[in-house]
Amino acid sequence: MDKIDVNSVGKSFYRSWLFKDINLQFDLNPGDAYAILGNNGSGKSTFLLMLAGQVTPNIGRIDWRINGSTILDHRKHLSYALSSPLMELPEELNLQEWFEFIQKVKPLLPSVSLEYIADICKFTKKTLSKPLANYSSGMKQRVKLCGNLLSDTKVSFLDEPLSNLDNNGAQLYQNLVNEALVRKTLFVASNDPKEYNFVRNKFEIQDKQIIQLV
């Protein structure tokens, strides 16, 4: 069974624990979805990044098992895509150059074309030649979501996915989520119910513990 095992994990900053002694298991099947909830500063984004292997716990360990084998830390990134408000795009590139770049770094599904991304994001032809630095924050977020949810990976990690999005952007997110759930597992770090309204398995950081909500 494909899964992520969280074994006695804890994370602290400046001698203060965000959470400690966390033991959880997340199955990684198509259609599985998990929400990591909590107040601002509670550590939900940190926990998401820990699951992805981008933040190291102070205590404990997080193991990935895919096809019966443990995935080494330096190879975990091959199995997931991540988007976050803190994640920077290569702003010197235009959309076509970004598309060519990401196909080398974190390939999108074989069926996904640049034209498809431009269409679902409602970008004009002129937009395609503009550097990403000239995109609005909402346009950048659409590009991030496409790079994440259309990636040819087993897992998608989404940190505050509706940041900077208007209603049309929110609908794009929902459409991408519906398509992605057919083939991958989603994790969402959020305190906005609209970002995780499709999730049954919800976990909340409370009093330095991560509690599954019923």
2-43 pLDDT, tens digit each: 999 999 999 999 889 999 999 999 999 999 999 999 999 899
Question: Could you give the CA distance from residue 198 to residue 56 in angstroms, rounded to a whole number?
Answer: 29
Q: What is the CATH number of the domain that holds 101?
A: 3.40.50.300
82-106 pLDDT, tens digit each: 999 889 999 999 999 999 999 999 9
179-190 pLDDT, tens digit each: 999 999 999 999
Q: Containing domain of residue 141, as a range?
A: 3-213
Q: Looking at the 3D structure of the chain, how many domains does it have?
A: 1
Q: Which of 18, 78, 14 is nearest to 48 (CA)?
A: 18
The pTM of the whole model exceeds 0.85 = yes
Residue 56 has pLDDT above 90, yes or no: yes
